[in-house]
Structure formats: C-alpha cells, structure tokens
Chains A and B, each alone.
Chain A
Amino acid sequence: MEFLAQNLLNGVSIGSFYALVALGYTMVYGVLRLINFAHGDLFMWGAFLGYTALTAISAAGLSPGPWVFVPVLPGVMIVLALAGVLLERTAYRPLRSAGRLPPLISALGAAFILQALARNLYGASYKTYPSSVSLPGGVRILGDVTMGTTQIVAVLAALLLMSALHVFVHRTRVGTAMRAVSLDHDTARLMGIPVDRVIAGVFLIGPALGGAAGMLVALRYGSFDFTLGWTFGLKAFIAAIVGGIGNIPGAMLGGLILGVVESLGAGYISPQWKDLIAYVLLALILIARPGGLLGERCAERV
C-alpha cells in the first residue's frame, strides 16, 4: 500500500514535468499543426542556462542557496522565450505555406543545431546543479511515504505555471485569440486577429514553460547532459499525444498519466523497462484512439 502510494506520488511529480514540457509541443501543434521537434532541445537549454547562471553566481563569490531560483528561473524563461520567437521567425515562418513536410524537416534541423551547440559549448559530460540550491529535508505524507522538499516545491511551481497558463488562455484576450487561431487561421484573420503575432506569442510561452521545466527537472534529477532534450523531450511529446495533441488540458492529463504509468511500471515490473512503457502506451493510444484522450477524433485525412 505504501509502496503503491510512493510510486503514485513519484509518478505525479515526474508527470507534472512531462506536462509542463508537453504544453509547448501541444500549443505549437495547436496553432501550426507542426511537431516542433526543437522544443525538447529548448527545454534542455533551460537546464543548461540555469547551470550557467548558478556557476556564474558561485564564481561571483555568492553561495548559491535556494533563493537563486527567484531571479534565475524567470531569467532563463525570458531568454528561452526570445529564443523560441527567433526560432519561429527564422526556421518556421518562411515555411508557413509550404505544406507539412518542409517545416517538419526544418524543426529536426533546428533540433540538431541546438544539440550541437549544447554539446560543443558545455561538453558531453554530465552536469549537476550544486547541492546547496536544494531545499533540505522532506515531508512525511502518509506512513513511510515521503517527498523531498525540493521535489514538492518543483511540483508546486509546475502546477502554478500550468494554472497560470490555463487562466491566460481562457480569461484573456490574447488567450482567446490563440484559441481562435488554433481553430482556423483564415477566419481568425478575418476577425481582425493578428495571426502572425499570436503565433509568435505561442513561441514565447511554450519555450518559456519548457525552460522552467528544464531547470526544475535538472534540480530534481541532479544530473543531465545534452541528450536531455531528446530523452525527456520525446517522453513529454508522447504525453502531449496521449492527452490529445493541440489540447492544453490534454497535455496536462497526458503528462500525469504517463508519469504515473511509468512510475508504476518501474516499481512493479522493472526499472529497466520503464522507457518501453511510454512507447507502448503511445502506440496503443494511437492505434485505439488516434486523436488522444481529449483530442479531436481524426483517424483519417483532414
């Protein structure tokens, strides 16, 4: 029972990070119908930029404590938001009317560039955040089921960002415009919505959330390298599809489901096969319900 509870808790905690990254994939897919393969690598850059900032703070003679996240996390989010917009302008916008294959290739190319940059600038070795930035202690939740303080804060931060996004998308004019663009570009344009700027806005928000997730994941797992975007990013992407790509609540649901299923699989079957579970889940979902759990039902062509 406690074993189950502990695994469920771990699953929710990993799942909330999957969800945070999945949001970036799903929002871009929603407005552009494009699988933004570079998103996972922007997320990975979030972890690396955080690493740079923490190293710089240490080098400046300050001892990095948990407080550093207060300035660094928003800073990383801003840098990645700008990177996301730059990516959209250079690699995706010129291909807006080129059909679906060229932007896909372009996205893969951008992912290659971001990975090569990280590998060459930081080296191929594993990086770790200094342990002093973690909050000490843990909380006993139920019997022997515990959760580290850092972990709790990271999960809460992820949930907070997701709620903020939800409010933004459903309660503001820009959010409404985003939903309109994702339904139909032409009609949205006829209604006076600046489609290009809305799409740029999506590329502002998605990578910002991804970058925050990158730092939080690096903090939670301790170490990471330049393949993080690929290994973790692909899983997050799977989460987006499981929930129904293009659907924001779907991405959150998919992330949580994937995290829980994976964590239960690791606990009850074998940690070795953990990764397989995600892919099998994806294959089953796509075969049985191609639109995802909350997505449109779209087995056939558009």
Chain B
Amino acid sequence: MNLRRGFSRFLGPGGNPARALPRYFGPLGIVLLCLLPLPLDNYLRAVLWQLGIYVLLGLSLHIIVGYAGMFQLGHAAFYAIGAYTVGILNLRAGWPILLALPVGAGLAGICGYIVCRPILHLRGDYLAIVTIAFGEIVRILLVNDAGGWTGGANGLSGIARPAIGGFVFRTNLEHFYFVLVFVLLGIAAVRRLEDSRLGRAWMYVREDEAAAEAMGIDTVRVKSLAFFLGSVGAGLAGGLYASRVSVISPDLARFQESVTIFCIVVLGGCGSIPGVVVGTLAMVALPELMRVVRDWRDGFLGLSMILMMIFRPDGLWPRRRSGLGT
C-alpha cells in the first residue's frame, strides 16, 4: 500500500470503525469520561474542558472536511459568531445562556449556509482561500466594532454562566460536565449522520462529485447542508466557550484558530470520529501540557505537521476501510 496517495484515497471510503468495538465500550467510555476529572487538579480540569470545546469544533469541521471533503479554513469565524451571539443576547437582552445557546448555534448555521452558497462550485484550494477571507472579514468586523455591538478589540466581558433552574455552573468541574453532555450528543449525532442517507451522499460527493450528481444526488443541497450543520456545531462550541470564560475577543476568529481546528481533523485522520479526539489531544492537550517550552509551541506544532504529512499522511487514527477500495 502506497502511503502517498491522492486526496480522495487519503480520506478513504466508507466503513464505521466504531462497529468493530464491543457494545459495552460506549457506556464504559462515558462512565470513564465522567470519572476522569475527579482525581485531577483544577488546572487539568480546565484543560479537559478546553479539550471538550475543541472536540466539538473538530467534530463540526469533520462534517465539512472529513465527510463532504471541502477545505474550510475559516471555521473559527462561526465559532466567534456563536460566541458573540450568545454574549450579545446575554448582555444586551438579558437572555439566559441556555436560551441564547441554540440561537447562537442557529445563527452561525445560517451564516454558514449563506456564505457557502455562492462558493460551493469552487475547487479545493480556491474554496480554502475564500473561507480564509471570510474568517478575516468576520474578525475585522468584530475588531472594528460593527454596529457598536461587539465591543471592538476588547471584546465583550461579563457574560453570565449557564444555569438550569437555580443551579449555576461555576467550577471547572461543572463546566466540564456541561460541555461533556454536548460532546457526547455531538458524537452520537455525527455517528448517526455518517450512516444516514445524507452521510453517504456526502462521502459520494467527496469521492466523485460528477458521479454523485449523475446518480441523482443534489450536490449543492448536500454540500450546503454540510456547511450548515458544521457551522451550527462551531456556533454551539462558541456559545459554550463564551458562557464559561465570560470574556470574549475577536481573537476567537483568528486564522490560527481555524488552522488548529483544521489540523485537528486532518492530523487525527480525516473521516474518523476517534481521529478527531486523538487530533484534539495532539493539537491542544500536548501544547497545553508543554507549557515549559511554550515559546516554541508553534514551532513544534509546525514541525510535527510536516513530519506527520511525510511519514503518516493518513492521520494518527485513520478511518478503517471497508473491503472495497484501496
């Protein structure tokens, strides 16, 4: 098997790796995840929370890049849109977080849909470039205090914490569980999508758009749905971020952020859900724990990206292939 293969083979054909695991693996994993932060100190709990946010971001981009095969390098824009929507609704209109979260996610999704429509026909790297430009446009709008709502370069502060009934999520541990719920829901949703009619259509479009079109798949609809759903996920992650940190700035829409999310998907192994988790560990946890060499963090990241591409281009946890293909 040649390690260096083209993009479509790089992503691999269908097949669900989760199937190979025993049935009890899922519930056991959830229990372990719930117990995981208990022995850890407060700092590590915060890192776990951060990982949760990035897994959500990775999962959402995974729909666009992994399934539908579109290079989206401006994903952080939708993350920022979700965060700012939640922040503005909470600060200006006094909405509780739980009510603002779905609105933020929905608005990010709608923005994703509107943005992608005119650019869907673009080829791989051209699409990547327009999405970079869109990310920068969002960041500049936020920095320049568009409409007087975004607080300019300082961003927004004082966003409330999420609350259910009388219970307010305050500590790192509580926030971790709050995010974990969304991560588990997200994983379940993405797995269901993968085996759905829509998921198969995405992969068909990714492998061969012309053939998919000929088989009666409405490629424009299918691709814009990928963008919509992916952006909803990013918006949700943004809202969750805003409600825990309570201070948000235009840095959320930085290109570096988009690249991080993109690398989570690609380095983890395009097209696999465990890959997203492994990718998050590699891109976020590792640099976070390497704080000693913090100044060289980006350098190491860059070096590992190049080495990965040369020696293990399928990603850390590639998608298992079904009998057909390769």
- A residues at B contact (CB < 8 Å): 33, 35, 90-91, 94-95, 97-106, 108-117, 119-120, 230, 234, 237-238, 241, 272-273, 275-276, 279-280, 282-283, 286-287, 290, 298-302
Give the docked Cα–Cα distance between A109 and B300 (Å).
9
Q: Is B303 in contact with chain A by the CB < 8 A criterion?
A: yes
Assuming the A-B contacts A35-B128, A95-B4, A283-B133, are A119 and B295 also in contact, with contact meaning beta carbons closer than 8 angstroms in the complex?
A: yes
Q: Binary interface profile of B, 111-149, with partner A (CB < 8 Å = 1, else 0)? A: 000000011011111101110111011001100100000
B123 contacts A301, C-beta separation under 8 Å: yes
Cβ-defined contact, A101 with B122, below 8 A: no
Can you list 15 A-B pairs with a CB-CB distance of less than 8 A?
A: A91-B306, A94-B310, A95-B309, A98-B309, A100-B7, A100-B125, A105-B309, A112-B301, A116-B302, A119-B298, A120-B295, A273-B144, A275-B140, A276-B137, A279-B140
Known: A101-B7, A275-B136. A35 touches B119 (CB 8 A): no
In the complex the two chains form, what is the Cα distance from A241 to B122 in whole Å?
13
Point out the residues of chain A lying under 8 angstroms from B26, CB to CB.
none
Total interface residues on B, using CB and 8 Å? 50
Q: Contact between B306 and A109 (Cβ–Cβ < 8 Å)?
A: yes
Q: Is the CB of A272 within 8 A of B298?
A: no
Please name all residues of chain B whose beta carbon is closer than 8 Å to the beta carbon of A276 when the two chains form the complex. 137, 140-141, 144
The smallest beta-carbon distance between B296 and chain A, in angstroms, is 6
Tell me the bound Cα distance from A299 to B303 in angstroms.
34
Query: A residues within 8 A CB of B123?
Result: 290, 298-302
Could you tell me the distance in whole angstroms from the C-beta of A290 to the nearest C-beta in chain B?
A: 6
Contact of A101 among B119, B130, B144, B266 (CB under 8 A): B266
What is the count of residue pairs linking A and B with beta-carbon distances less than 8 angstroms? 144
A114 to chain B: closest CB distance in Å? 8
Closest to A286 in B: B130
* CB nearest to B299 among chain A residues: A116
- Taking a contact as CB atoms closer than 8 A, the residue among A33, A106, A112, A116 that contacts B310 in the complex is A106
Assess the A109–B125 pair: CB atoms within 8 A: no
- B284-305 contact mask (Cβ, 8 Å, vs A): 1 or 0: 0000000000011111011111
B10 at the interface (CB under 8 A from A): yes
Chain B interface, DSSP helix/strand/loop, else mixed: helix
Known: A101-B266, A230-B255. 16 other contacts (CB 8 A): A98-B4, A99-B8, A100-B125, A102-B310, A103-B309, A104-B125, A110-B302, A112-B299, A113-B299, A115-B298, A116-B302, A119-B295, A120-B296, A120-B299, A238-B133, A275-B140
Q: Which residues of B contact A103 (CB under 8 A)?
A: 309
With A104-B125, A113-B303: A280-B309 Cβ-Cβ less than 8 Å? no
- Distance in Å: Cβ of B225 to nearest Cβ of chain A: 20
Q: Are A105 and B128 in contact (CB under 8 A)?
A: no
Chain A residues with CB under 8 Å of B295's CB are 116, 119-120
A238 to B124 Cα, complex, angstroms = 16
Which among B9, B118, B136, B297 has the greatest number of chain A C-beta atoms within 10 A?
B136
CB distance from B280 to the nearest CB of A (A): 16
Chain A residues lying within 8 Å of B267, measured Cβ to Cβ, are 105
